[in-house]
Structure 1
Amino acid sequence: MELLEYQAKELFKMVDIPILPSQTIKDSRTIKQLQIPYPVVLKSQVRSGGRGKAGGIKFVANTIDAIAAARTIFNLSILGEYPQVILAEAHYNTEREFFLAIVLDYDLQCPVLLGSACGGMNVNSLLANLQQVVIDDEFSLFYARRLAASMGLSGQLICSVSEIIAKMYRLFQEKDLDLIEINPLGVNKNGELMALDGKITINDHALGRQPIIATLNFPQDQVKNALDRPNWHWLDWQNKSGKIAVVCSSFDLALLSWDLLNQNRLSPACGITIDHNFVDLESRSQFYRDSLQQILAELESIEGLKAVLINIWESEAINGEIIETIADYIRATQESNLLSQQEETDYNSDRSQTLPKFILRILKGENFSNLKIEENMYLSSSLEDSIDKAIAVVKSS
């Protein structure tokens, strides 16, 4: 379950990660009762990325401007999602911005600390400076300081950033998180730190022992959406000249995949994350099948696509569904191309579609030998091997 920013910050408050004075707004008319002194930042509370570029974050200096801005934000759809809540937050002057995250790496089977000295909206700079530290033993402040030092920090900043990382790890462990992220972590002229934005994903299988809905005061219809509504969305990372599409089952997997590709000087054409909150196998299977069918149809519009890297870490049964869905799509496209080639008109012959190579990084099972693996498919349980294959496909084309 992916929390909204204001809910993530309520968890930050529990472990004394510094956050700004804030107030949630459910109706633009209640702006008049705002208890935070101006200037104020109004933020759309949706799960999609790219809120700032889409117009979902606005700085306001007075009540009149705030009411107008709130009305605009409430009526603004960001990748198909309308906010039910707006977060009003005090303004903060920063001199530097960092990126910090802790993700559960299912391949390594341990948490990984991520950090960049270039936080904020510039994803390319963030990834170019991304550092990681694998937690291969019991966590200690040593790991946090190692990450801070690798980010190029010095002096008091190493200590203060390390303390923030330690508090993040406490939340990560106690609340059964798959991901905790602060981006940006702002630093003012006095060297004081402030978590200006936050993202938290709770492991779906842990919700039964984490009464998170009761403690975070979810609106009832938001609870329904969070638990029942399937969701996949485009990441705000696009490159028109890219030849690889990245499809992942979580943001942290997308970030790791993107970073590995960029280390090899390949910037993907686009990224998509598939999010769900289904526990039962049947619902998850149908969700992945439906979502992948929609995603593959959308990817047809991207010209010059040579490879689709699908990085989904799921059960053997779900992975079997994923393989069959991709295989069905390949066969259907090939049959369509064959029919087009048999037509005599130039119009129909131009409809023929060139299939990319589908590289599936999934947990392979013993029963996969019974499935028909198409020529355009490549399966691996290793992320590094899948990345190498995707790079080889692009370079050979």
Structure 2
Amino acid sequence: MDLLEYQVKEWFAEIGIPVLPSQRIDHPTDLKRLKIHYPVVLKSQVHAGERAKAGGVRVVETTIDAIAAAQTIFNLPIWGELPDVLLAESKYDGQEEFYLAVVLDTAVCRPVFLGCKEADVDWESAGERMQHIVVEQEFSPFYARQLALKMGLQGQLMQSVSSVLEKMYQLFVQKDLDLVEINPLAISNSGQVMALNGKVSINERALGRHPKIAEIVAKMTSRHSSSQINGHLSNWDGLDMHGKIGILGNGTGSMMATFDLVVGAGGKPGICLNLRHAFLTDTLPTTFCDRLTKGLSILAADKSTQVILINLLGSIPQAEEVAKVIAKFVQHETSELTSQVVTTNSNGNKSRQQYHTPHVVVRLAGSEFNMAKDGLATLKTQSNALVMVENLDEAVAEAVRFTKPVAAKKRSATR
């Protein structure tokens, strides 16, 4: 679960990460008692990204404008979520913006520093722009300075960024977190650094050691328990809906894009799993193929899942093993379907039990998947349960087509 920005900023201030003067706004009239100077930035406190594009971030110059903007934002749903709170924050003019993060790499069970001299970075295509340092042993400030140097920073700016990274790591360890992110870290003309936005992902397995964090999580969960959209936005590692199309992806961006395209094409997404991270039930290090195998099993076990849509993008470890995992799954499911379990009822008569097997639509994008594509292309000619598609839009269209009633398919075929 991710905290809201105003909660993250409170933690940042406590640990010593520089943040702007701000004030929590529970109602538009609270702006009459604003304690910070204009101009002010009003921010919708929701879990969704892209708030600014959706109209959830406004710069205001006067109290009257602020109240009017707050009324609009409080009534503006972003990805189906209405804010209960706004954050009013001083406006800051930065000359440069960086991306910084401390994240738990669940594959190796070690913290990793991430840094990029571009704040608006696309995780799926960051490539060489995103620098990283694995904290392999007991932490020392050397790790923070090493990342700053890899980012190309020098002098006082290197020291300032390193100091922020050290405090991010302290917060990460003290609270047993999965992620501490600053995006962006703004740099002024004088070299002053300022965390303009932040994200914290709580490790739900560690809540037993942190009663205060458990209380925060309980309040947030109870507040939004009736909204599947909020759950979907706050945890892109897993989403349990009741649609017919299960989705497996390897990143937040690809997951969101696939989910949106399925909805836009008239399909109903079901269970969605992000294979980039370990599942909550995993207690030991896992490989990507381990998570792919488990994800396929989870979707196949859900009777509402008619189609499994696999969208893998970019680079992953063990890319050559991906085809073997998918092939093994398809072959097993097909053999189960053809054999169909024979059962004996109470009258002694034998009957065949219908076995549930979903179609599998696969879209692999990236040169590292070429071997996997070749392997699956051979299997595709042997099984009608597998469809290989290069384009994501076409993959989504195929997945939605499989969920249509048979009668509708026949009508469309005769036209």
Q: TM-score, normalised by structure 1?
A: 0.67
Residue 163 (structure 2) aligns with: 163
| 3-state SS, counterpart of residue 272 of structure 1 | helix
Provide the rounded CA distance (Å) in 2 between the counterparts of 1:331 and 1:176: 35
Q: Give CA-to-partner distance per residue, 1:103-125, whole Å, 9 cap, x none.
A: 10111211111100011477789
Provide the rounded CA distance (Å) in 1 between the counterparts of 2:98 and 2:125: 11
Q: Mark the runs of 5 or more structure 1 residues left unpaired by the alignment.
A: 237-244, 259-269, 274-291, 303-307, 334-354, 379-385
Provide the rounded CA distance (Å) in 2 between the counterparts of 1:235 and 1:132: 24
Residue 50 (structure 2) aligns with: 50
- Displacement of 1:62 after TM fit? 0.4
Residue 355 (structure 2) aligns with: none
Residue 297 (structure 2) aligns with: 323
| 3-state SS, counterpart of residue 112 of structure 1 | strand
TM-align CA RMSD: 4.5
Residue 298 (structure 1) aligns with: 263
| 3-state SS, counterpart of residue 251 of structure 2 | helix
TM-aligned CA distance change 1:328 to 1:142, over 3 Å: same
| 3-state SS, counterpart of residue 298 of structure 1 | helix
| 3-state SS, counterpart of residue 46 of structure 1 | coil
- Displacement of 1:224 after TM fit? 1.2
Residue 393 (structure 1) aligns with: 373
TM-aligned CA distance change 1:390 to 1:46, over 3 Å: farther
Q: Give CA-to-partner distance per residue, 1:336-360, whole Å, 9 cap, x none.
A: xxxxxxxxxxxxxxxxxxx865669
Residue 410 (structure 2) aligns with: none
Residue 132 (structure 1) aligns with: 132
Residue 347 (structure 2) aligns with: none
- 2:169 is matched by which residue type in structure 1? Y
- Displacement of 1:208 after TM fit? 2.1
Provide the rounded CA distance (Å) in 2 between the counterparts of 1:376 and 1:77: 34
- Displacement of 1:209 after TM fit? 1.6
Deviates more, 1:34-43 or 1:322-331: 322-331
TM-aligned CA distance change 1:316 to 1:20, over 3 Å: closer
- Displacement of 1:391 after TM fit? 8.3
Provide the rounded CA distance (Å) in 1 between the counterparts of 2:124 and 2:361: 29
2:248–2:295 CA contact under 8 A, matched in 1: no
Q: Give CA-to-partner distance per residue, 1:134-191, whole Å, 9 cap, x none.
A: 1111111111111111111111111110010000000000100000000000111111
TM-aligned CA distance change 1:55 to 1:393, over 3 Å: farther
1:95–1:189 CA contact under 8 A, matched in 2: yes
Q: Give CA-to-partner distance per residue, 1:70-106, whole Å, 9 cap, x none.
A: 0111011111111000000011110111100011011
Q: Give CA-to-partner distance per residue, 1:288-344, whole Å, 9 cap, x none.
A: xxxx9x889538669xxxxx98445223699757524257689835xxxxxxxxxxx
1:359–1:390 CA contact under 8 A, matched in 2: no
Residue 223 (structure 2) aligns with: 225
Residue 69 (structure 2) aligns with: 69
Residue 406 (structure 2) aligns with: none
Aligned length: 317
- 1:393 is matched by which residue type in structure 2? K
1:359–1:377 CA contact under 8 A, matched in 2: no
| 3-state SS, counterpart of residue 82 of structure 2 | coil
Residue 287 (structure 1) aligns with: none
Residue 24 (structure 1) aligns with: 24
| 3-state SS, counterpart of residue 12 of structure 2 | helix
Provide the rounded CA distance (Å) in 1 between the counterparts of 2:7 and 2:107: 28
Provide the rounded CA distance (Å) in 2 between the counterparts of 1:133 and 1:87: 33
| 3-state SS, counterpart of residue 182 of structure 1 | strand
- Displacement of 1:30 after TM fit? 1.5
Of 269, 272, 275 in structure 1, the residue corresponding to residue 256 of structure 2 is 272
Provide the rounded CA distance (Å) in 2 between the counterparts of 1:166 and 1:156: 15
- 2:33 is matched by which residue type in structure 1? Q
Q: TM-score, normalised by structure 2?
A: 0.64
Structure with the greater alpha carbon radius of gyration: 2
- Displacement of 1:15 after TM fit? 1.1
Q: Mark the runs of 5 or more structure 2 residues left unpaired by the alignment.
A: 237-245, 268-272, 284-290, 335-358, 378-389, 391-415
Provide the rounded CA distance (Å) in 1 between the counterparts of 2:129 and 2:263: 31
1:118–1:125 CA contact under 8 A, matched in 2: no
TM-aligned CA distance change 1:195 to 1:164, over 3 Å: same
Of 274, 295, 313 in structure 1, the residue corresponding to residue 278 of structure 2 is 313
